[in-house]
Amino acid sequence: MTDVIDETLASHNQTPEAVPEAGLFGKAVNAIGLLFAIGILASAGLLFYEVVMRYVFNAPTRWVHETVVFLSALAFVYGGLYAAAIDKHIRVVIFYDRLSAGMKRVFNILISLTCLIASLFFAWAAWLSVKRAAWTPQGDFRLETSGSAWNPPYPGLLKIFLLIILVLLVVQFTIFTINYLRRKGQA
Amino acid sequence: MDFLFDFQSLGIGGATLAMFVMLMALLLTGMPLAFVTLLVALIFALGWFGPMAVPLITSRIFSFVNSFVFVSVPMFVLMAAILDRSGIARDLFDAMKVLAGRIRGGVAIQTLLVAVVLAAMSGIIGGEVILLGLLALPQMLRLGYDRNLAIGVCCAGGALGTMVPPSIVLIIYGLTANVSVGDLFSAAFLPGLMLAGFYAAYILIRAYMNPALAPIAEPEDITRAEKLRLLKGLFLPILVVIFVLGSIYGGIASVTEASAIGVIGVTLSTIIRGEFTVDLMIGAAKQTLRTVGMIVWIGIGASALVGVFNLMGGINFVSNLITGISDNPTVVILFMMAILFVLGMFLDWVGIALLCMPIFVPIVRDMGYDPVWFGVVFAMNMQVSFLSPPFGPAAFYLKSVAPPDISLGDIFRSLLPFIGMQILAVALLIAFPGITGH
Amino acid sequence: QEFTFRIQSSDPAGNTNFVLQKEWAEMVSEKTDGRVAVEMLPVETIVAHSETMDAVAAGILDGHFTDTSYASGKDPAFGLIANPVGAWSSPDQMFDFMENGGGKELMNEMLEPYGLHFIGATTPGLEAFVSKVPLDGVDDLKGLKLRAPEGMVQNVFAAAGASPVNLPGSEVFTSLDKGVIDAADYNTFSTNAAQGLHDVAKHPVYPGFHSMPLIEVSVNKAKWDSLPDDLKTAMEDSVREFATYQSETVLKRDMEAVEEAKAGGEITVHDWSDEDRAKFRAIARSQWEKAAQASENSQKVYDLLTTYLVENGLMAED
Ligand code: NA
Ligand code: NA
């Protein structure tokens, strides 16, 4: 019995791969995910450090909380692209699963295309917000800061990062659409 | 661009209905939930206001991810992912064998005890259901347990993670309702244990009424020394529970920080057990990235939809609709429960919390109820949402690790009695608010 | 009506300040004979509190009723003018600075390039200080773990020897209760009392010695420019009247809450001596000087503010 449990655990814990329809781009998204995964580990360490500094040494930092929020936000935003590349976004497939292979392919094409168009709109809107977060009204480059005592430019950086990820989502959904059209991978 | 503004002619009532229908229809196509809500938000932003309203959505995405409280999500997920990869949960399961003893339905009770300890360590659902599905389900099936009972215990037990504190559902509720998360945790202890008690009673009653449902394991004489060795498996998990809850109630850390202390606690446990490797941590972190990508983007979509709906004037509309249903506050509360129940069939709890709480909580406050009590009722109602078809996350998680001959339909059928007990718990909380201490 | 303004507040729906702001919306309607309708929305209804400036500029919202310090991320000057810690002893002083000391003109000089027009300022009044331990002067701040809002308030407390902690408002009560922090800069005395903070922190300092937030009413500039002059004047008047009304209402409530707290016998209300208040102001002033260097506009704020304070005998020339 023990071996069965070991096997199920091991197969469950395999690191996921990008689905074939995500293309080379999806593989790259999967690989770069490592960076943001490390950011999550770092966040846990930093929060622990903050608690120790405050509780034991009575010296809370002014940078840990903001940095942890920033690292987590990067992981959250990237996680959306990552889950798209490995096709792990939560979906209701009760109806979809009953479709024929041909209809599934049509659905896949339409869904990817719709997500592509929506992402395009969002990328455009994110660009508008980056214009406000990265330049002053006078046209000088100045990243929006958090306004705290430490005042890091995290909000400006995060808005730029969001724009980049939305653009990459457009790319990812374009690749999905094309590959479903060409029947690449399994429909 | 005139056609764009046609949506306003629907009126807010018609638009609300159209929004709901569009959500359900798109959901059933198999489109990812996060993109369904984002798309509906986009369509209504464009159709009701025009392109100038689209930046509202990206602004809400930015604010949603940029929040301190949400840091606890990756921390809880990471904790579960490390547990998955270590032998900690495994030893905990074995240790509970000693406690559950040789009673009828012993393995199911043992599973439930593990579920409660896991629930007190962490605050999310996925990790627990998967762990129970991996550890307990094969063992119960091998012993010849009734399949429905075995499946139900794993799913319902795993869902307890968001009812027994710490709980991410209560954290998010606290954030949207602006009430103290510490108070919510204190108030949720008893109701969480009460629900676990219902499950235990159900297992025992069924097992004793029909012994064929839960055969007793072959007599296996465990020596005292062996018992002590097994009980050691309890030590590290209990230590983590003390780390997390102790740091909150001992005034050492805020709730969000405590979730990170849990991660450190679990990591230390793997070091003590000699299981710690860099690969283990990286693997767990990548799994966390994937899971938070799923969870947070569902929240992002819901948040975007709420923003657009509010700008359309939806809050007032729904709020008037609910308060107009009756002058009797209990009826209004029951109506809210019905809405939550129906939404729980289709949507994820994050989405439901973000959609409904800004509307419900002010009404609840105005009617003179305690928002802390309502938070506990809400969390209990979300217990139902994890199990109810067609969108039942606990069932999905279990399916991902269950033997292939168990279909999603089998799982949902097994869950019906457990949903019944959850609804009973919701009803009791409404009838006797004192259970929460509020 | 001819004009409607959808205005998002930085206060939540149940908050007393928000309830008052809804009264302002009625005042506007009365003053303009119903030609202008204002719809007040609670915080986060449409966008987050820190995002309203962009939303107003983009025309998603028509205006915001917000703490000016939320714009510090765009230009630190907003943080300095929003809360020059220790500068004001009463709302009237700040109102006079805005009306007659050039404050209003400077606000518009800073805000209009972003696409917003500043109509006027208000404030709930001096904040009270919540503490678990007795605080009778600046020396007692040494080593104190306190929650303070982001920005200069934190810097001033740090300069006074305290350890400021970043915490969301929703975690303040539990953190005080469990002793994660000893004290908190939170809200006015009556609000603190209503939220039960004094039950877990029995040594409030009142009147406060630190913050008095500048709450601005600003609207989309293009929309403002489209208003006829008589409506512009009516809206400006309404904000001015509201400011006096709000600060007086809050003061009255605070006094009642203080009396109630004293009568209860459980809570000790501490009041600082003039010497200690002056000491704190001196520490604060050293931080204004630092803050002035943060941007071109910050220097303008600092110059205008110190000139006004010196001319009106509120601060010694040095
Ligand atoms: Na839990
Ligand atoms: Na469900």
Our CA-based measurement puts residue B249 at a distance from the nearest CA of chain A, in whole angstroms, of 14
Our CA-based measurement puts residue B101 at a distance from the nearest CA of chain C, in whole angstroms, of 39
Q: What share of chain C is helix, strand, coil (3-state, %, to 5)?
A: 55, 15, 35
C51 touches chain B (CB under 8 A): yes
A62 touches chain C (CB under 8 A): yes
- Mutate which of C5, C45, C47 to test chain B, going by most B C-beta atoms within 10 A? C47
Q: Do C13 and B362 touch (CB under 8 A)?
A: yes
Give yes or no for residue A69 having a pLDDT over 70: yes
Cα separation of C255 and B170, whole Å? 36
Q: Do A62 and C73 touch (CB under 8 A)?
A: no
For residues A17-35, average pLDDT: 90
Pair A63, A52: CB distance under 8 Å: no
Nearest beta carbon to residue C59 from set B52, B183, B252:
B52
Predicted pLDDT at A1: 38
Nearest CA in chain B to A16: B287
Sequence-ordered list of residues with C-beta below 8 angstroms from that of A34, at least 6 positions apart, any chain: B282, B286
- In this prediction the ipTM stands at 0.90
The two structure tokens encoding residue A178: 């094309």
A-B C-beta contacts closer than 8 Å: 222
Cα separation of C169 and C123, whole Å? 19
From B81, B111, B80, select the one nearest B94 (Cα to Cα). B111
Provide the 8-state DSSP code for B27. H
Mean pLDDT for all residues in chain C: 91
Which chains reach chain A with 3 or more Cβ–Cβ distances below 8 angstroms? B, C
Nearest beta carbon to residue B63 from set C51, C173, C175:
C51
Nearest CA in chain B to A69: B68
Q: Do A62 and C75 touch (CB under 8 A)?
A: no
Q: What share of chain A is helix, strand, coil (3-state, %, to 5)?
A: 70, 0, 25
Nearest CA in chain C to B69: C168
CB < 8 Å from C in window 347-366 of B: 358, 362, 365
C-alpha distances (whole Å) from B134 to each of A13, B93, B158, B230, B400 are 11, 11, 12, 19, 10
Distance (Å) from CA A106 to ligand 2 centroid: 27
Question: Roughly what angle, to the nearest 10 degrees, separates helices B393-401 and B371-387?
Answer: 40
Question: Roughly what angle, to the nearest 10 degrees, separates helices B72-85 and A23-55?
Answer: 100
Strand C145-147 relative to strand C163-165, pairing: parallel
CB < 8 Å from B in window 117-176 of C: 166-171, 173-175
Residue-wise pLDDT tens digits, C232-272: 999 999 999 999 999 999 999 999 999 999 998 899 999 99
A62 touches chain B (CB under 8 A): no
Q: Specify the range with the lowest mean pLDDT, choosing from B158-167, C33-42, C203-212.
A: C203-212
Pair B288, A33: CB distance under 8 Å: no
Residue-wise pLDDT tens digits, C154-166: 889 989 999 888 7
Distance (Å) from CA B189 to ligand 1 centroid: 10
B60 touches chain C (CB under 8 A): yes
Q: How confident is the model at residue A2 (pLDDT cuts 50, 70, 90)?
A: very low
> Cα torsion at B341, B347, B348, B349 (round to 10°)?
-30
Give yes or no for residue C25 having a pLDDT over 80: yes
How many Å separate Cα C297 from the centre of its chain? 19
- The enclosing H or E element of B420 equals helix B408-431
Q: Do B56 and C60 touch (CB under 8 A)?
A: yes
In 3-state terms, what secondary structure has residue C122?
strand
Taking CB atoms and an 8 Å cutoff, what residues of chain A touch C166?
62, 65-66, 148
For residues C168-179, average pLDDT: 78
HSE (side-chain half, CA atoms, 13 Å) at C88: 24
Taking CB atoms and an 8 Å cutoff, what residues of chain A touch C143?
58
pLDDT per residue of chain B (438 residues) written in tens, 0 to 9: 444 557 888 889 999 999 989 988 998 898 998 899 999 999 999 999 999 999 999 999 999 999 887 888 899 889 888 988 888 888 888 888 777 767 888 889 999 999 999 898 887 887 788 889 888 898 888 888 999 999 999 999 999 999 999 888 998 888 778 777 888 999 999 999 999 999 999 999 999 998 888 877 666 667 788 888 888 888 888 998 898 889 888 888 888 898 999 999 999 999 999 999 999 999 999 989 988 888 788 888 888 988 999 899 888 888 889 989 899 999 999 999 999 999 888 777 877 887 788 889 989 998 999 999 999 999 999 999 999 987 888 988 888 778 888 888 899 999 999 999 999 999 999 999 999 988
Predicted pLDDT at B316: 82
Q: What share of chain B is helix, strand, coil (3-state, %, to 5)?
A: 80, 0, 20
For residues C277-286, average pLDDT: 86
Our CA-based measurement puts residue A55 at a distance from the nearest CA of chain C, in whole angstroms, of 8
Closest listed ligand to the CA of B120: 1
CB < 8 Å from C in window 185-244 of B: none
Predicted pLDDT at B218: 64
Which chains reach chain C with 3 or more Cβ–Cβ distances below 8 angstroms? A, B
Predicted pLDDT at B1: 44
From B87, B102, B91, select the one nearest B222 (Cα to Cα). B102
Our CA-based measurement puts residue B182 at a distance from the nearest CA of chain C, in whole angstroms, of 6
B246 touches chain C (CB under 8 A): no
For residues A54-58, average pLDDT: 86
For residues A3-22, average pLDDT: 66
Residue spans of the domains in chain A: they are: 21-182
Nearest CA in chain A to C165: A60
% residues pLDDT > 90 (chain A): 69
Distance (Å) from CA B346 to ligand 2 centroid: 6
B304 touches chain A (CB under 8 A): no
Q: Using the structure block, give the residue that is written with the tokens 């990328």.
A: A123
Our CA-based measurement puts residue B413 at a distance from the nearest CA of chain C, in whole angstroms, of 40
- The enclosing H or E element of C121 equals strand C116-122
In this structure, the number of other CB atoms found within 10 A of the CB of residue C26 comes to: 12
Taking CB atoms and an 8 Å cutoff, what residues of chain C touch B183?
173-174
Predicted pLDDT at B134: 84
Q: Is residue B278 packed enough to be buried (19+ CB in 10 Å), middle (13-18) or exposed (0-12)?
A: exposed
Our CA-based measurement puts residue C136 at a distance from the nearest CA of chain B, in whole angstroms, of 25
Q: Do A95 and B30 touch (CB under 8 A)?
A: yes
Give yes or no for residue A6 having a pLDDT over 60: no
Q: Do C51 and B62 touch (CB under 8 A)?
A: yes
Q: Do C46 and B56 touch (CB under 8 A)?
A: yes
Cα separation of B391 and B412, whole Å? 10
From C46, A116, A76, A92, select the one nearest B23 (Cα to Cα). A92
Q: Do B58 and A162 touch (CB under 8 A)?
A: yes
Distance (Å) from CA B163 to ligand 1 centroid: 6
- Mutate which of C4, C11, C44 to test chain B, going by most B C-beta atoms within 10 A? C44
Distance (Å) from CA C191 to ligand 2 centroid: 40
Distance (Å) from CA B151 to ligand 1 centroid: 20
B53 touches chain A (CB under 8 A): no
| Highest mean pLDDT pick, A65-79, A145-159, B112-126, C124-138 | A65-79
Distance (Å) from CA B393 to ligand 2 centroid: 7
Q: Using the structure block, give the residue that is written with the tokens 């009560």.
A: C173
